[in-house]
Chain A
Amino acid sequence: DAGVIQSPRHEVTEMGQEVTLRCKPISGHDYLFWYRQTMMRGLELLIYFNNNVPIDDSGMPEDRFSAKMPNASFSTLKIQPSEPRDSAVYFCASSWGTGGNEQFFGPGTRLTVL
């Protein structure tokens, strides 16, 4: 298995633009997580899904952020409109619902909002 796949790996955009980050979890995993990592706030859980259903979105910073999981092999995190303070590394992770809680992280998307 290729592991968790994220795209793009790097994104540079201007304030006010829409940004869409993409994630493909490991096949067979039924949990998917979106994290944001910054120096100031560390690793923050934004939202997680179980069987494509959002379970907890309490970490989503504001209405500008939205996430979807239309099927078991694809998820998106959208920021609209983007702001400079959204600059961070965004990680997607996936795990099995049974057999342990290990979360496998993707390589991350480094977002820079100018």
Chain B
Amino acid sequence: GENVEQHPSTLSVQEGDSAVIKCTYSDSASNYFPWYKQELGKRPQLIIDIRSNVGEKKDQRIAVTLNKTAKHFSLHITETQPEDSAVYFCAASRGDYKLSFGAGTTVTVRA
């Protein structure tokens, strides 16, 4: 089955700096790559996703890039704010709706 690896496991950044989280996947048939944000004690919520026919996607301060050849994708958060502090999960799916999640990255934004 699909194996998704996520790095780093923890990330501390100064407010206003950028944060980058990287994920690799094993199944070349995967074609959908969402990112979920989970605040402490809350449910995971989708923040951005990308499909295999697109190399990059942006939504305000967040962006995701996908390199199908290398089988990796990344989340970029610019101008980080305290409310960006959370656990971020990447995931991959081959279109059968079954998501395989990475282990998560705990992001802490220092004021």
Contact = CB atoms under 8 A, between A and B. Distances in A.
B46 interface: yes
B46 A106 contact: no
B98 A43 contact: no
B8 interface: no
B45 A105 contact: yes
A108 B102 CA distance: 19
B43 A108 contact: yes
Contact of B34 (A31, A91, A101, A107): A101
B44 interface: yes
Nearest to A101: B32
Interface residues of B, number: 21
B103 interface: yes
Contact of A107 (B43, B89, B95, B102): B43
Interface in B56-105: 89, 93, 95-104
Chain B interface helix/strand/loop/mixed: loop
Contacts of B96: 56
B33 to A, nearest CB: 10
Given A101-B34, A101-B93, A42 B43 contact: no
Contact of B46 (A44, A102, A108): A102
A42 B103 contact: yes
B104 A103 contact: no
A45 interface: yes
B97 A43 contact: no
Nearest to B91: A43
Contacts of A103: 34, 46, 99
A43 B44 contact: yes
Given A31-B97, A45-B98, 17 more contacts: A33-B97, A42-B89, A42-B101, A42-B102, A42-B104, A43-B89, A45-B100, A48-B98, A50-B97, A95-B97, A100-B49, A101-B32, A101-B34, A102-B49, A105-B44, A106-B43, A108-B43
19 contacts: A31-B97, A33-B97, A42-B89, A42-B102, A43-B44, A43-B89, A43-B101, A45-B99, A91-B43, A101-B49, A101-B93, A101-B99, A103-B34, A103-B99, A104-B46, A105-B44, A105-B45, A106-B43, A107-B42
